[in-house]
Chains A and B, each alone.
Chain A
Amino acid sequence: MKGNEALAEAAIRAGIHAYFGYPITPQSEVLEYLALEMPKRTKLLNGQNGVLLQAESELGAINMVYGAAGAGARVMISSSSPGISLMQEGISYMASAQLPCLVVNVMRGGPGLGTIQPSQGDYFQATKGGGHGDYHLPVLAPASVQEMVDFVFEGFRLAEKYRTPAMILADGALGQMMEKVTLPPEHSLPYPEKPWATTGKPKSRERNIVTSLFIEPERMEEINLQLQHKYRRMQQEVRYETIETADAEILLVAFGLSARISQKALELARERDIRVGLVRPITLYPFPTEIIAAMSHRVSSVLTVEMNAGQMVEDVRLAVNGHCPVYFKGRMGGMVPSPEEVLAEIEAIDAQVEKSV
């Protein structure tokens, strides 16, 4: 299946009640696929057909998500970089109001209107908050169409467990590429209780209020402390993949499509007797700091590969904390690095290491 369609199919199987969208390349297939499939295959909690709505703007769409998530529904929204920028207001409000939902960013090259070609230029925006205020989203970075499917389930699990918007950070290539996938059975993700949802106040309980406004500074700090406590708890969800790290002398760190390119470069390097390993962060927030820190004591150098000007490399440097040199290889603006380009970088680092021995 095509990445975007696999993601949409996974959303149906994850039992979404509602999807709100606005067309933008390269992820419009999600909206199109769901427009066709949702009415007959998804149901609301009251048994009526699931909701698919094309909003008047990304701002409208994300605020519809706010309303629907606040009313207890399982909701997904997807867009691409410029559209995600517009949604940041709503995402910040939902982080504060503690509303679970799944936001999918199929990244394209920026800044500005940029290009429709794939990019990883939104790493900072996704992992460091994105909107105003102190908050984070759990961020999952798929590297295959199978993971586009799996992470819809994982994204909802995290969102509902921690009562937070969660994000899938993919890129245009993953959205457009076709691969074989195994799909989970329909409605195989249980619905948690949402006693906080605004569904109409029965006499048996106090009124429920969904808000991000806490005007007294003491109360606002308390909310912030709660959020920070949640982000600390979230650290246990860190996920990553290691490839041939046991004997590695040079460690590659890359996520998403860059990780697949890096894996190919790793194979080419090993053919040339350069011992290269790869750490692929799967959760970008929480970031797999510990494994990279541990590896930095065992390797001669680290090379971070990204499709941007160097964003995740900052988190890698924090993890390495000066234990070894950290190099960066990136392409921008919708350009994708080739395995050979990465290999050339590895060979240059290897030559430098040889010289210094």
Chain B
Amino acid sequence: MQEIAAAINGLELVWKKPATMTDTPMHYCPGCGHGVAHWLLMEVVQEMGIEENVIGVAPVGCSVFAYNYMNIDMQEAAHGRACAVATGIRRVLPDKFVFSYQGDGDLAAIGTGETIHAINRGENILIVFINNGIYGMTGGQMAPTTILGQVTSTTPFGRDVAQMGYPLKITDLVAHLPGAYYVTRQAVHTAAAVRKTKKAMQLGFEYQRRKKGASFIEIVSNCPSGWKLTPAEANDWMEKNMFPNYPLGDLKVPKE
């Protein structure tokens, strides 16, 4: 730490850890997108001045420990139930901000029902959906969003459509629901992508403030450990293989 302090001595401070993040060292693997997504979300919360009025929901998955890093009130939810838990919180605290932070297994497999219905009811919540096409925490098994041919520990010969069906493009699906106000698909692997995702998060909370219904932000991300690639290789693989299946951009933007 002293070396770092010496090295940056005299340099201009251009970025500071938001107070909405704790000092707990993250458990995420090197290169994983979760860390950036956490920081972004908490930065937005602080910049919008809503840190005293926000409650987060972190369900089972790699990000189940999000409450160790986010310095706000949080609830841990059972696997797949984050949108139901978020509904319960937002309904009894209608003036507060509520977000869920969910992985693909959680949101698009075991929690599909809770996700679709919360959005269809137009719950005033922000759903942040991290899609890395794999079950990271349990060791790299097939997710609903695993792409065709992708090798995982439970699809050792690649995802075969005859046996496992197709990757579930749940973001395209929820964009059709009338309760969804804002639906977008972003990434956090480059500075430009980070800026766009941050903007999307700002919009999500702003629409929530105006009680417009559900906002849904998919972040197409990586899983170097689960994919068995280095962080740099993982980002390349994501661009080549994930983005064609999950193209970045807005899927539903309010007309205003």
Contact = CB atoms under 8 A, between A and B. Distances in A.
Interface in A73-96: 73, 75, 89-90, 93
Interface residues of A, number: 44
Contacts of A57: 113
A199 B74 contact: no
A57 B51 CA distance: 32
Interface in A150-179: none
A46 B87 CA distance: 17
B73 A200 contact: yes
B242 interface: no
B168 to A, nearest CB: 18
Interface string B165-193: 00000000000000000000000000000
Interface string A194-207: 00001111110001
Interface string A24-57: 0000000000000000000011101001010111
B72 A66 contact: no
B239 interface: no
B52 A59 contact: no
A90 B78 CA distance: 7
A60 B84 contact: yes
A330 interface: no
Interface stretch (B33-41, B53-61, B153-161): B53-61
Contacts, number: 135
Chain B interface extent, by class:
35 or more
Contacts of B116: 56
B73 A56 contact: no
A15 B239 CA distance: 54
A212 B71 CA distance: 18
B74 A59 contact: no
Contacts of B57: 67
A213 B55 contact: no
Given A201-B71, A207-B71, A210-B74, A46 B95 contact: yes
16 contacts: A20-B88, A55-B84, A60-B117, A63-B78, A67-B57, A67-B88, A68-B91, A70-B75, A70-B88, A70-B89, A90-B78, A198-B74, A200-B53, A200-B72, A209-B67, A210-B74
Contact of B92 (A61, A73, A90): A73
A309 to B, nearest CB: 31
B91 A201 contact: no
A71 interface: yes
A199 B55 contact: yes
B77 A66 contact: yes
Nearest to B95: A46
B92 A51 contact: yes
B78 A207 contact: no
Contacts of A202: 52
Interface string B17-55: 000000000000000000000000000000000011111
A20 B85 CA distance: 12
Nearest to B82: A63
Contact of A198 (B75, B81, B114, B117): B75
A198 B73 contact: yes
Contact of B75 (A18, A20, A51, A210): A210
B78 A71 contact: no
A64 interface: yes
A242 interface: no
A137 to B, nearest CB: 17
A274 B74 CA distance: 61
B76 interface: yes
Interface in A180-221: 198-203, 207-213
